[in-house]
Amino acid sequence: MPKQKSLSCEEGLFNGLIKSILEHANALKETAEALAEIDVLIGWGALAREWDYCKPQLDHSDQLRIDQGRHPVVEQMLRAERLGLAGAHAFVPNDTSLSSSGSRCRHPTNRADHWAQHGR
C-alpha cells in the first residue's frame, strides 16, 4: 500500500507539472525562440570578431560597393590549406562596384594584378 500511495503522489505531481507547463506554453515557446535568436546573433558576433567581418552600410542608392571584399568560404578553405610560413594560398580581397545606372559592373582587382604587384 505505501508503494501505491507513493506512485499516486508521484502521478499527481507529474500531472500538476504538465498542467503548469501547458498553462505557460506560449510564454515558454516565445522565450525559447528569443533565446535561439540570441544564440544565433552571439554566434555571428563571434565569427565577425574572429574573421574581422564588418557590418554593411545601407542606403537608398542604386549602388553596391564592396571595398576589400572577401568570400568567407573561399577564405577559410585557403587558410586551412596554407603551405609554408608565408601562407602560399592567401586570399586576395577584391573591390566590387555594381549599379543600375552608369557603369554597370566593375571588379578591378584580380589575382594577376595582385601577383604582379607583390612579385609572386
Residue 93 phi, psi (nearest 5): -65, 150
Which cell numbers in the block locate residue 4?
Answer: 501505491
Q: Tell me if the pTM is above 0.75.
A: no
Reply yes or no on whether the pLDDT at 77 is more than 70.
yes
Q: How confident is the model at residue 115, as a pLDDT? A: 45
Task: For the chain, give every domain's residue range.
Answer: 1-55, 58-120
**pLDDT band at residue 86 using 50, 70 and 90 as cut-offs:** low
Share of the chain above pLDDT 70, in %: 78
Mean pLDDT lowest for which of 36-45, 98-107, 110-119?
110-119
Q: 76 or 117: whose pLDDT is higher?
A: 76
Encode burial over 50-74: b for 16+ CB neighbours within 10 A, e otherwise: eeeeeeeeeeeeeeeeeeeebeeee
Q: 82 or 110: whose pLDDT is higher?
A: 82
Could you read off the pLDDT of 22-45 as tens digits, one per residue? 999 999 999 999 999 999 999 999
How much is the mean pLDDT over the chain?
82
Mean pLDDT of all residues in 91-108: 75
Sorted by sequence, the CB contacts under 8 Å of residue 72 that are 6+ apart come out as 51, 53
